Amino acid sequence: PKTKLAWCFDRSELPKLLNAPDLSKTNLTTFYRLLQRAEIVFVMGKKSQMMRVKQILGTLSTLKLIYVTENQILAGVFKEDFQNKDLKVTRDVAATIIAGTIFSALITDWNLQRALMLSKINVENSKANKTLKINQLSDKLREALAIR
């Protein structure tokens, strides 16, 4: 392409992306100062890494922290487990779908609990080359709410 790629799944082509640090290699003081300005942060990693992250980020009370692990989405008191054994996308793509769905839901005035439900539904029904359309996502959400 004539223009530089806007996104690469391993994030190597994103020199302007400031908020994808590896917490094991990041200057946490600088990162903490940056987080004080954020409204929402998605933290992705293994469950075993989350305790350290929660200790660091848990003091930021005004921040919406959303944790995405191998098979779980956590935000405040809300939790959604998703099946990853049948996923037709990689773990990084799944995390991106989850973050994108939650972000889209929140900026269109869905509450946090529904945003997590939408992201679970979307990632479980995604394929390598597409996610659900909004009407499909709405239908599946109605079905999920009827079951609960």
Please indicate, yes or no, if residue 22 is contained in any of the structural domains.
no
- Note whether residue 2 is domain-resident: no
Cβ burial of 122 (10 Å; 0-12, 13-18, 19+) is: buried
What is the Cα–Cα distance from 8 to 77, expressed in whole angstroms? 32
**Residue 14 domain-assigned?**
no
Q: What is the pLDDT, as a whole number, of residue 138? A: 87
What does the pLDDT read at residue 46? 75
Q: Give the range of the structural domain holding residue 103, as residue numbers without chain letter.
A: 28-147
Does residue 79 fall inside a structural domain? yes
CATH code at position 102: 3.40.1190.20
Looking at the domain assignment, is residue 39 inside a domain?
yes
Q: How many other C-beta atoms are found inside a 10 Å radius of the C-beta of residue 78?
A: 15
- The tally of domains found in the chain comes to 1
Answer yes or no: is 115 within a domain: yes
The answer to whether position 41 is within a domain reads: yes
pTM score? 0.72
Strand residues in 1-148 grouped as ranges (E): 40-44, 64-68, 72-75, 78-81
Per-run averaged pLDDT (10 residues), the chain, 148 residues: 47 48 63 74 75 68 76 89 74 86 89 93 86 88 85
pLDDT number for residue 5: 44
Let me know if residue 93 belongs to a domain. yes
